[in-house]
Every structure is written in C-alpha cells, then in structure tokens.
A = this chain, B = another copy of it.
Amino acid sequence: MKEFFNVTALGDVLGLAKDFSSVGAEKIDLIETSGRVLAEDVISDIDLPGFSRSTMDGYAVKASSTFGASEGNPAYLNIKGTIQMGEKPGFSVGPGEAAKISTGGMLPKDADSVVMVEFTEAVDETTIEVYRSVAPGQHIIEKGEDLAEGEAILTKGQKIRSQETGILAALGKEKVKVYKQPCVGIISTGDEVVPINTVPKPGQIRDINTYTLSGLVKKTGGVPISYGIIEDDYNALFESCSRALQETDMVIISGGSSVGTRDFTIEVLSNLPDSEILIHGISISPGKPTILASTQGKSFWGLPGHVVSAMVVFEIVVKPFIEHLGGVFGEKKTVPFVSAVLSRNISSAPGRGDFVRVRLVEENGVLTAEPVLGKSGLINTMVKADGLVKVDTNTEGVDKGTVVAVMLI
C-alpha cells in the first residue's frame, strides 16, 4: 500500500504560524478602524471625562444638603443658577444651594452629586424642594472615572471593534496605527477547471474555489487577489506562483486535485528559490492532503481541490496564519462557538481530528446540531451547514445527545 503523506498533527501545524512575520503597519483615519487590528499600544493622555458631569437631569448639590430629605420633610435649597451645556459654571454650589443641570452638564465647584428632577419641585424661581436624599457621587460621572490619564487602554494586536473606535475618538486620535491587511494570492489549478463564464464541457467543472477562498480571505480581514486558473503545466504554475509570491503576503494554490497537478505543486514549491516544504499532510478530515511551504519567508499553501476540504482547511488551519500575519495577538477566547445538542451519533477514525458539518435547528428553545452528510466534493453540503463540530483526535466519535461546540461558518 502506498502512503502519500507524512501527516502532521494539527496543533503542530498551527504552531508554525509564529515563524512567519506579520505584515507592516499603516496609519488610517479613525472612522475606518472598525474591524482592523491595532498596531500600537494606547495609553490615555487625558482624564475622561475631563470634569465631573451629571448623568441625570436635575440639580447639582452638595449631598449633605439633602440628608434626611423625604416627601414629608423636604429639604429647601436655593437655586444658585443654571449650568449651560458645554460650559464651565461660573459659580460654586455650597451647603443649602443647588444648580439646575442637564445630563452631561459639568458640575459646579463644591457640588458632589445630582438630585434627579423627578424628586424635586420648584417652589419659586429661587427655591426648590428636594424629596429624597442623595449620596456623594450619586448621578454623576467623576473626572477620570471612564479613563484616567496614563491608563493603559488598548494593546497592540487587539482587534478594533466599534467600542475601541469609540474610545480612540474620546482620546482625539484622528489617525490610528493599524496592521495592513495581508494580501493573499489565490491560484486555481487543474485542466478540468474552467472560468465561471464558460459553459463546462463534459469532464469540465467551473472554478468554485477561487470564489469560496476569496470570500473567506475577506472575512478573515485579508485582501484576496486572484491569479486565475492555471493549467496543469509546470512552467505555467512556476511562473504564476513566482508572481503571486512577489505581489502578496501569502499564496494559496487550490483546485487541481489530479495526480499531475499535485506533483507539479510540490515540484514548484520545492524549486522556488529559498523554499522549504514544511507540511505534507495534516491529520484532519477533510483536508488531509494539505501542503505548507515556507517560501522566501512567506507561507505558501497547497489546499486540497475538493471544495469542502479547501474551505474546512481554510477555517481551521489557514485562517490562524492570516490572523497572525495581520498582527492579531493574544486573541480572547470569543470565537463564536454555539452550544448545541448532537442529533445523532457521529463516528470518527482515531488518530485524526474530524470536522463534521452540521445544521443548527431550534425547536422548543433547544438548539440541535444535525450532521450534514455528504462527500467533501459537494459544495451544497456547506450551503446547508451552519457550522463545524470537531471530533477530537483521540475519540472514536461523539454520542447522540452530547452537547457540542459548533464553530459557525
């Protein structure tokens, strides 16, 4: 029996990502940062807010002026003035005094809290009754309560969500240093693969992988660059690979699954200058016949031609490499895994990690994961699937009724 591959364990493959250098950084406008990766540590150079402000509409007071106040025994306070939004009050508020304030307004000197307008009544133009006591600090945000000057806020390698963009706005950062988006070259191979605007003849099939992989690269934060379909020819493949290597940060060859194409891929990856085959086979299914080379310091992938295999290998293996290139560091464990109850037994061969396509079905509030069966050449099974369930290397399967973690795809 002929053994094609010297399979490598998934964990060992993923460990190689750190051997590739991240792409450089660029400065972009703050409004464009959402979804990008921060390339600098951010320390606050201000107190936020820069002044104590009200979180309610009402009256700024010294809390002690309201102690003991109730409906039956209101406190009477003198109105010292009205605070204008966006302005520093020109007066202070001492014992027995109050100043009209709106949400967001700046507390006057000596005031330490705000009484909600609901718990007051104007007696006349200069006096209010207060029906409830407040504690010092109540209904206000104190100076520096959100951010203190000198506080470390964001870390290089952090993904920027809308709230991170918001905090950078608060700091007045018009331009932000982020990692560039890694450019990923995509090459389809195989004499049977034809462009999508062609009507396939018998024996031919339209190029699907260029489209699925481009979508996945984009979703991962990269920029896909398609190099089209290359015929099963050593020279054509060599030339195309060389060009993609010069123009991008990572190259993915996919498609051609015939023996000839695979042989050419290995040969090209071996013969490119400064190139080493790191991986030839991974102990996962689908996706075993995956190739990874380090070529001129860049990661160069040979993905299996079957559409499902190529997508699964991308999600499980290639994606972490792109994230690494894109500067993502120390990612939080917030991968969108959904818990669901497995609807039927799934079996697996020990010694490899199986990734099973599942559809999620909600019934009576219970989320069920139903395996989507089908060969790894069937794109329709990925369309029907909502996620992947991993069956661990050392188990022989997972029993019906088990709660499984579904990785959304």
* Residues of A bordering B, CB below 8 Å: 1-2, 30-31, 33-35, 48-51, 53, 55, 57, 84-89, 102-106, 117-119, 141, 145-147, 153-154, 161-174, 190-194, 196-216, 218-219, 226, 232, 256-261, 305-307, 311, 332-334, 336-339, 360, 362, 367, 375-380, 382-383, 385-387, 408-409
Contacts and interface: CB of A to CB of B under 8 A. Distances in A.
Given A85-B258, A333-B360, A378-B146, A208 B169 contact: yes
Contact of A215 (B161, B196, B204, B258): B161
Contacts of A378: 141, 145-146
B337 A192 contact: no
B167 A383 contact: yes
A11 to B, nearest CB: 16
A339 to B, nearest CB: 4
B212 A165 contact: yes
A146 B377 contact: yes
Nearest to A201: B88
Number of copies: 2
Identify which of A211, A256, A306, A338 gathers the most chain B CB atoms within 10 Å of its CB. A211
Contact of A337 (B207, B338, B376): B338
A409 B85 contact: no
Given A191-B86, A333-B367, A338-B336, A379 B205 contact: no
Nearest to A210: B169
24 contacts: A35-B215, A50-B202, A51-B202, A55-B306, A57-B259, A85-B260, A88-B203, A103-B258, A103-B305, A106-B203, A146-B379, A161-B215, A162-B211, A162-B311, A163-B383, A166-B211, A170-B196, A170-B206, A172-B199, A333-B360, A334-B338, A334-B360, A334-B386, A336-B338
